[in-house]
Amino acid sequence: MKIAVIGAGVGGLTAAFDLKNKGHDVTVFEREGTPGGLAAGFKEQDWDWSLEKFYHHWFETDKSILSLIDELGLSDKVIFMRPTTVVYHEGKFYPLDSPISALLFPGFSLIDKIRFGFTTVFLKYFSGWKPLEKYTAVEWIKRYYGRNLYEVFFKPMLVGKFSEYYQDVNMAWFWARFKARSSKLGTFQGGFQAFMDQFTHILSEFGVRFSFNTSITEIQSLENGNIRLTINGESHIFDQVLATISPKILSRITPQLNEEFVNIIDAQSSIGSIVVIVSLKHQLSSEGYYWFNLPKSAGFPFLALVEHTNYISSKHFNNEHLIYCGDYLDSTHKYFSMSIEELTDLFIPSFKKINPAFSKEWVNKTWVFKTPYAQPIPHINHSQNLLPITTPLPGLFLASMSQVYPWDRGINYAVELAHRAVEEMAQPASFS
């Protein structure tokens, strides 16, 4: 068949790979000039490696992406390391990313530590997600971990991830974070953009066509069962189309979608993300800490500070020290309309809480990246409102981050979803 894939993120590239392996004629359309989607990066002239616009990692448990990389013959370029994650407590930072560090953490009482250990083991090894989705994470955590653990550790995490919507998140989402993650974090030699570029090159050699800087303005179902894409006023006809874009964008450019499907899309909630990246002349965390979980209640204007070059050596970035300042926010938040200068002035004074010696003279350059669609919000019983891959229009399919539930959005689950989508595209279309 002649098939179009909309979006050249890792999900779109994976789907193109699977479809081409099945013998189909595949074209990938991407509105940006490079592949990668939310995992795309950029590279300054003096850097050897690219840097992700929005920080990403692989985990050792990410079987789908690691299997794909192996199939592509690129496994020798995967790097796993164990950087240190710390949390803020009463003016200081403490490691809290292992059983030993949890036992030593001064914010937990002996009873807290016992509850933390037993409850976490239960979540990771003995529970399933389905019974948990009928509870909010807040109520479940308070009941089983206890109020102090909730206030000191879990609430800042939930608030940071979901902003004012933190009380709406169901416990199945929280379960997935314990179930599937590892302490070691993985990346690709040269950065994630290097992986995306090499993946795209392999697909091109394989016969997949790419059309970058291309926006789809309308998707239409034709009477003969084909799908028409309107691009720059011109019609392009395909037997099938897989959209790896946000559901709300799909709804906007596909007026033929029926009311039932559109209502499911409209019921979906999500928040955006904003990242300020700062290049420094000097290392910020002299202890070599990588990831700082920051409570906004302590006056930090963002949820996480990530010193990338305490994970990947600064030698790959012209000896610059690179800092991410990240936050998840509603797309109407004032940060989305602020300039790079305004955000920099607001964010970098917090660096003094990491290193009192910091001064503005350390700053080389800053970048800002924003996206209004970064994190779906899973409400109570979210599985009942999950969008199907098969849409009501024959030949049109959807694979977006909102459909990886109960897992958290990420590269591994984008790959897994793409595999499922391609298998479903081979079946008779239905919608229920």
Claim to verify: residue 417 and residue 291 sit in the same structural domain: no
DSSP annotation of 223:
T
In this structure, are strands 2-6 and 240-243 parallel, antiparallel, or unpaired? parallel
Structural domain includes residue 92:
no
Contacts 24+ apart (CB under 8 A), 345-353: 346/301, 347/276, 347/278, 347/301, 347/302, 348/278, 350/294, 350/299, 350/300, 350/301, 350/302, 350/305, 350/325, 351/284, 351/305, 351/323, 353/300
Q: Which of 82, 72, 79 is nearest to 10 (CA)?
A: 72
Please, which pLDDT band fits residue 296 given cuts at 50, 70 and 90?
A: confident
Number of domains into which the chain is organized: 3
Q: Which helix (H) or strand (E) holds 340?
A: helix 340-347
Dist. CA 19–CA 2, nearest whole Å: 10
Higher pLDDT, 180 or 1: 1
| Whether the bond into 156 is cis, omega within 30 of 0 | no
Looking at the fold, whether 401 and 373 belong to one and the same domain comes out as no
Question: Are both 69 and 28 inside the same structural domain?
Answer: yes
Regarding whether 305 and 225 lie in a shared domain, the answer is no
- Give the confidence band of 230 by pLDDT, cuts at 50, 70, 90: very high
- Asked if residue 93 belongs to a domain, the reply is no
Cα Dmax for the chain: 69
Question: Cα separation of 296 and 300, whole Å?
Answer: 5
Q: What is the pLDDT of residue 183?
A: 82
Look at residue 237 and tell me whether its pLDDT is greater than 90: yes
Q: What is the pLDDT, as a whole number, of residue 96?
A: 83
| pLDDT surpasses 90 at 187 | yes
DSSP 235-286: EEEESEEEE-S-HHHHHHH-TTS-HHHHHHHHH-EEEEEEEEEEEESS-S-T
In tens, the pLDDT along 109-162 reads 999 999 998 998 999 888 999 999 999 999 999 999 999 999 998 998 898 889
Question: pLDDT at residue 166 above 80?
Answer: yes
Angle between helix 63-71 and 10-21 (nearest 10):
50
pLDDT score recorded for residue 429: 53
Length of the chain: 432
pLDDT at 432: 39
- Let me know if residue 95 belongs to a domain: no
Distances in whole angstroms, Cα of residue 144 to Cα of each of 20, 122, 130, 147: 48, 11, 17, 9
The answer to whether residues 58 and 193 belong to one domain is yes
Provide the whole-model pTM: 0.94
CA-nearest of 183, 153, 398 to 293 is 153
Residue whose pair of structure tokens reads 């079946």 in the numeric block: 427
Instruction: Tell me the pairing of strands 25-29 and 209-211.
Output: parallel
| Residue 430 clears pLDDT 70, i.e. is over it | no
- For residues 96-107, give the mean pLDDT: 85
Residues 234, 258, single domain; the answer is yes
Same domain for 277 and 302? Answer: yes
Residue 101: its pLDDT value, please?
A: 87
**Is residue 87 situated within a structural domain?**
no
Residue 431 backbone dihedrals phi, psi, to 5 degrees: -145, 125
Residue 431 has pLDDT above 80, yes or no: no
Beta strands 185-188 and 78-81 are antiparallel
Residues 355 and 395 in one domain: no
pLDDT tens digits, residue range 331-355?
A: 999 999 999 999 999 999 999 999 9
Same domain, 276 and 362: yes
Whether 169 is covered by a domain: the verdict is yes
Identify the CATH number of the domain in which residue 210 sits.
3.50.50.60
Q: Which of 149, 179, 209 is the last residue of a domain?
A: 179
258 plus 113 within the same structural domain: no
In a domain, 97, yes or no: no
Above 80 in pLDDT, residue 238?
Answer: yes
The Cα 42–Cα 245 span in angstroms is 21
| Contact (Cβ atoms closer than 8 angstroms) between residue 363 and residue 280 | yes
Alpha helices per DSSP H over 91-232: 99-104, 110-121, 137-144, 147-149, 155-162, 171-180, 192-206
**pLDDT tens column, 358-417:** 999 999 999 999 999 999 999 999 999 899 999 999 999 999 999 999 998 889 999 999
CB atoms within 10 A of CB 155: 20
Please report where in the chains the tokens 């450019």 appear, as a residue. Answer: 253
For residue 351, what is the enclosing H or E element?
helix 351-354
CATH of the domain at 343: 3.90.660.20
Domain extent, residue 174, equals: 102-179
Is there a domain that residue 45 lies in? yes
Give the pLDDT band of residue 428 (cuts 50, 70, 90): low
203 & 156 share domain: no
Please choose, from the candidates 376, 377, 383, the residue with its C-alpha nearest in 3D space to the C-alpha of residue 133.
383
Bridge partners of residue 187, in order along the sequence = 79
Q: Is residue 184 part of a domain?
A: no
Q: What mean pLDDT, rounded, does the chain reach? A: 94
Distance, CA of 38 to CA of 55 (rounded, Å): 9
Domain boundary among 130, 152, 179: 179
Both 302 and 325 in one domain: the answer is: yes
DSSP readout, 49-75? S-EESS---EETT-HHHHHHHHHTT-G
